[in-house]
Structure 1
């Protein structure tokens, strides 16, 4: 399983979250403690917003701990809103196109989890994509497909509805194929103005998610970047998180509430 982190608040250097802490995201790529897979070596990515509405994006197939370019970028780049992800593949190729975060215009998306038996349900899910979104698909992951479906079904205007619509469609396809394993997701989305996070599973515990309010802003992460864990709050299962400024709003997420 992958590890990820998102921050918004006063501008700070990326290294303050990605490199310096004693359980930083880069260290988690070697030894995660809240994931099924301890080593996340199938690429990484970082994205940050600056003066433009669209974010800067850096993705690479090397393990995060061995990339000198990432260290240099993190040490010299300051941003008020950024996200980063270290990848452990669930079956698709290791390539830049399959590394998170995924970007379309001002939107960013990253994900930990998987659609079970993705190859058996992939065809029908991809067929839902309108041509304009299908042509934006550059990789082969279930994560990128989820992102594009969310954009198609109203992410820009109503994120909660888009998530319920897409997750309901995924669950329906899983059942139609007779797949018994759960669909799991711990994801983060940004439009350049705020973050949304979702912790979800068909059944059983979903991948972990935590948040912490720091002096400079708010951090949302799949795993605390500090061994001490003081001040970190666990996000409950089946929850949607909205980060606006330094405020954190957590509400229950249920597919049964999906609007017609």
Structure 2
């Protein structure tokens, strides 16, 4: 379906995240190890926070491995909070407005998964979006509509509760249309200061999700690894699949869990849908 990463910590060049790891996101665009599809070539996007009060975005419909502009940008640009996503479409068109991450004000959002039988439930879900938000929907994906449902239910005030309400509505609408397992999701969202990531599916067999472990501990375990010495202690990653094979560097996020990353730490909280 898709692969993504969410980085926070001291500023790093984008190429350190997108190109240099052994199983980098660009590598995963051709050879994903844990995704439903091996190839994720239906476009990509990068979101980052710089000097402006809102995040920057770069979207392209080219495969990530083929885009020269991405390589040029990644060699120069650096940021302390980065969202990056490679897309494998589940049916919607390959166009820039369908590429993740999506943006609203200071917020970014990206999703791996699908709303099952989306054409059947799209109308019912769309009319649940706050009317003042609806004109800002630019693309045709289930992922963007999911984002605007979460915004409708208060994402900017309480992200876990808002996502729980959005998922609750999606499951309710889906089951009223006879869909047994209405949603499959790993989601990441951020306001530029905190990142929230969610792993959940209606069938209880969710797409893969991992978070990095403490960098200072890894330095002690691997004193000769130069990559670890280049990272600050507050560096944290949440990823669809590990960026490398270093033993102890990654922990799988359990089913039905919300990961909250703030500063140099993370908390894992139980997640379940709620009545909208």
If the length of structure 1 is used for normalisation, what is the TM-score?
A: 0.96
Q: For the aligned residues, what is the CA RMSD?
A: 1.2
**Paired residues of 1:43 and 1:99 also in contact (CA < 8 A):** yes
One of 236, 239, 246 as aligned partner of 2:257: 239
The Cα of 1:227 is off from its aligned counterpart by: 3.5
Residue 31 (structure 2) aligns with = 31
- 1:98-247 alignment to 2 at 5 Å? 98-213=98-213, 214=215, 215-216=231-232, 217-228=235-246, 230-247=248-265
**Paired residues of 1:12 and 1:80 also in contact (CA < 8 A):** yes
Whole-Å separation in 1 of the counterparts to 2:136 and 2:87:
21
Q: Secondary structure of the residue that 1:92 maps to in structure 2? A: coil
**Paired residues of 2:168 and 2:275 also in contact (CA < 8 A):** no
* CA deviation map 1:121-170 (0-9, x unaligned): 00000011122211000000000001111111101111111111110000
* CA deviation map 1:190-239 (0-9, x unaligned): 10111000000111310111011444210110111113454101000000
Q: Secondary structure of the residue that 2:133 maps to in structure 1? A: helix
If the length of structure 2 is used for normalisation, what is the TM-score?
A: 0.91
Q: Secondary structure of the residue that 1:248 maps to in structure 2? A: strand
* CA deviation map 1:171-194 (0-9, x unaligned): 000100001234110010010111
Residue 44 (structure 2) aligns with = 44
Aligned residues: 258
Q: Secondary structure of the residue that 1:132 maps to in structure 2? A: coil
**Paired residues of 1:102 and 1:108 also in contact (CA < 8 A):** yes
Q: Secondary structure of the residue that 2:119 maps to in structure 1? A: helix
**Paired residues of 1:53 and 1:192 also in contact (CA < 8 A):** no
Whole-Å separation in 2 of the counterparts to 1:244 and 1:254:
21
Whole-Å separation in 1 of the counterparts to 2:256 and 2:239:
16
- 1:40-79 alignment to 2 at 5 Å? 40-79=40-79
Residue 270 (structure 2) aligns with = 252
**Paired residues of 2:170 and 2:182 also in contact (CA < 8 A):** no
Which 10-residue stretch deviates more, 216-225 or 57-66? 216-225
Structure 1: 5+ residue stretches without partners? none
Larger radius of gyration: 2
Which 10-residue stretch deviates more, 234-243 or 125-134? 125-134
**Paired residues of 2:47 and 2:58 also in contact (CA < 8 A):** yes
The Cα of 1:259 is off from its aligned counterpart by: 7.1
Which 10-residue stretch deviates more, 205-214 or 139-148? 205-214
